[in-house]
Amino acid sequence: MPELTAAGRQWTVAAGSNLLDALNEAGVAVPYSCRAGSCHACLVQCVGGDVRDSRPDALSPAQRDQGWRLACQCHVLDDVQIHTFDPQRDGQAAMVAAVDWLGGEVLRLRITPERALRYRAGQHLVLWAGNVARPYSLASLPEEDRFLEFHLDCRDPGQFIDAARQLKAGDTIRLGELRGGALHYDPDWSGRPLWLLAAGTGLAPLFGLLREALRQRHQGAIRLIHVAHDAPGHYLAKPLAALEAKHQNLSVELLTAAEAPSALAQLRLVSRQTQALLCGHPDRVEAFAKRLYLAGLPRNQLLADVFLPRG
C-alpha cells in the first residue's frame, strides 16, 4: 500500500484513497469547502511522487508544474510526499480595514492587502483566519475601492464564520489563491439587456459586476433581482436604491423566498440577446436558470456561479 508523508509524519493509506480524506483523517488539517474542485481551499503541493488528479484543468499549467494539486480531487496510488498550504509561507498578508454588519446576518469584511492585488469583478479569494480557510467572492471593484470587500453569511455557524466574528480593524489575515470563477462583465455586452439574479450573499459578486457595467457605461437595460429569505435579508437595499436612482437603465427588484416562485414565473425576455449572470445557493441558481431557459434564453448567454455548501 502507498505511503503518504506530510507534516513530518509518514503513514500507510489504502490505494485509491482520497487525498483530502487521508490527510484530515490522520490529523493533518487541510481546509475545504466544496469538495468539487471549485473553491481551491484544499490546495496542497506534491513535493515527492504524484497523485491521480481527476481535475487537472482546475489549476494553471504553472501551478501544476510546481506540484500544486487540489486534495479533494486527488487519489493516492503510489508513495507521495505532501506540503500542505501554509498561509504564513504561501499566502499574502493583509490587514482588516473594517468589520460591520449589514442587515444583521451579513458581516461585511473589508481588508487591505500588504501588496496590491490585481483582480477583476466576479472573482473570489481564499481567506485564512489562523488555520481556518474559506473562499469568498469579492464584492469590491478594483477601479473604485481601495480595499477588498467580502460579504459573509453568518446565519449558520462554522469555523471560519466563528473566527470572522472576532475580527476587528487592525487585525491581520492571510490571503490564499485568487480564482476567476464563472462570472465576469464583457464590454461587448454594452448594448444588450443584462440580467443579474442573486440569492442571499450571491449578491456580493453581482454587486461588483453591476458597478463594473455601470462604470463602463453599459447602454442596455440592466435588471437586478435579489432573492432573500426575508425582507431584512436585502442587505444592500440602500446602495442598490441609490444606484437605481442615478442610472435610468437600471431596475432593482427585491424578492423574499416566499415571493420568488410566482415572481420568477412571470419572467419574460424583452430580447433574445439578453445576457444573464446568476449567483447563489445551487438550488436557487438552478431555479433561476430553469425559468430563464423556459423564457427562451439561449444557454450560451447564461453564466452562473454557485456557493456550494460545505461537504
Instruction: Report domain 3-85's class.
Output: alpha beta
Separation CA 179–CA 209 (nearest Å) = 15
Is domain 187-306 given the CATH code 2.60.120.260 in the classification? Answer: no
- Domain 91-179 CATH superfamily: Translation factors (2.40.30.10)
Q: Mean pLDDT across the stretch 21-40? A: 84
Residue 157: predicted pLDDT: 86
**In what helix (H) or strand (E) does residue 213 lie, and over which residues does it extend?**
helix 203-215
Contact 1, 78 (CB under 8 A): no
Residue for grid cell 473553491: 39
With H, G, I as helix, E, B as strand and everything else as coil, classify residue 83: strand
Comparing C-alpha atoms, which of 136, 118, 117, 116 is closest to residue 126?
136
Q: Share the mean pLDDT of the chain.
A: 93
Tens digits of residue pLDDT in 106-159: 999 999 999 999 999 999 899 998 878 888 999 999 989 999 999 999 998 888
Q: Where in the chain is the domain with CATH 3.40.50.80?
A: 187-306
pTM beyond cutoff 0.85: yes
Tell how strand 124-129 and strand 172-179 pair up: antiparallel
Q: Where in the chain is the domain with CATH 2.40.30.10?
A: 91-179
